[in-house]
Homo-oligomer: A and B are copies of this chain.
Amino acid sequence: MRASASAAPLALDGFRERVQECNLRDAQLEELRSFVPFAVQAEPAGLLRPEFAAQLCSSFPAVFERHGAKVTLVASLKTPQARTEAVGACMRRLRDDGRIAGWRDELFPVATAFDAEPLLLLERAAAPFFGIRAYGVHVNCFTRGADGHLDLWIARRSRTKQTFPLMLDHMVAGGLGHGLSPSATVVKECGEEADVPEQLAAKARPVGFVSYMTLVPEGVKRDVLYVYDLELPPDFVPSAADGEVEEFMHWPVEQVAETVRTTREFKPNCNIVLVDFFVRHGIITPESRGFIALVAALRSGDVA
């Protein structure tokens, strides 16, 4: 394969910076220590900014209460459904007061782990306030030439997107809502975002996950992205099915790597997924100084 046989090992500094930009800086680690754990029935479920924790307990004492160093739901909320309804009513109040913006009417599960039963469901726009773990899928879509060389399909986000307009992105990616498996989400997003037929999308291969943790004004984002590789036939051309994409481009893997390494043109979390792709496909090799630290940093988010 051309890429793995290339001469001098790549300098990894730029890749390391892109991964670090998605994660907590040292000063923020200090800030994170001030966050208040959010528990449901003694199960750890999230992390709250101290001001938000105080607001919940003072504004909604019938729902939220202090329990030692934690904030919990009152014990009378015994079922997921009761919790979902009670917390949902509080969140709608905060939305109406202008405290929570960008309401989505989409429910995210709150749970101790991806495959644990949800403790409650929470409006997506409120999720960052609660510092719950959120999950998504990113699909590396590529073609392989007769000589083994890889070309990646990448997208430029629409200029009208609320977040990261006109930035580079994976051809297919999306958040994991309640009730849809990672692989089913891949098939759905493949169809919606790039008009990939279901039979072709089903060939996407799960290859692991990356994770990161970062502070945002609302609280802390703790994201896990399931990574997929989808090898496309050479003649396949994606088309923007839902208008969220400005254009699709088909770039040699080296050009994608150089763009990640030397620019901030990609949506930040795409960089982590792409560095993972470069590691798994021998574009980034153990001969480069800092290889182990870079690979270890691809799963910086706490997932335990």
Residues of A near any B CB (own CB < 8 A): 1, 4-5, 113-115, 181-183, 202-203, 205-209, 224, 226, 279-282, 285-287, 289-293, 295-296, 299, 303-304
Contact = CB atoms under 8 A, between A and B. Distances in A.
B209 A292 contact: yes
Contact of A292 (B114, B279, B287): B114
Contacts of A285: 182-183, 206
B1 A286 contact: no
Ranked 4 nearest A-B pairs via Cβ: A205-B282, A182-B286, A115-B289, A206-B285
Nearest to A5: B202
16 contacts: A1-B203, A5-B202, A114-B286, A114-B291, A182-B285, A182-B286, A182-B287, A183-B285, A183-B286, A205-B281, A206-B282, A207-B279, A207-B281, A207-B282, A209-B286, A295-B299
A289 to B, nearest CB: 4
Given A1-B205, A4-B205, A183 B287 contact: yes
Copies of this protein in the complex: 2
Given A114-B292, A286-B226, A280 B207 contact: yes
A128 to B, nearest CB: 20
A4 to B, nearest CB: 5
Contacts of A207: 279-282
A208 B280 contact: yes
A207 B299 CA distance: 15
A262 to B, nearest CB: 22
Given A181-B286, A209-B292, 13 more contacts: A4-B205, A5-B202, A114-B286, A115-B291, A181-B287, A182-B286, A183-B286, A207-B280, A208-B280, A280-B280, A293-B303, A295-B299, A296-B299
Contacts of A205: 1, 4, 281-282
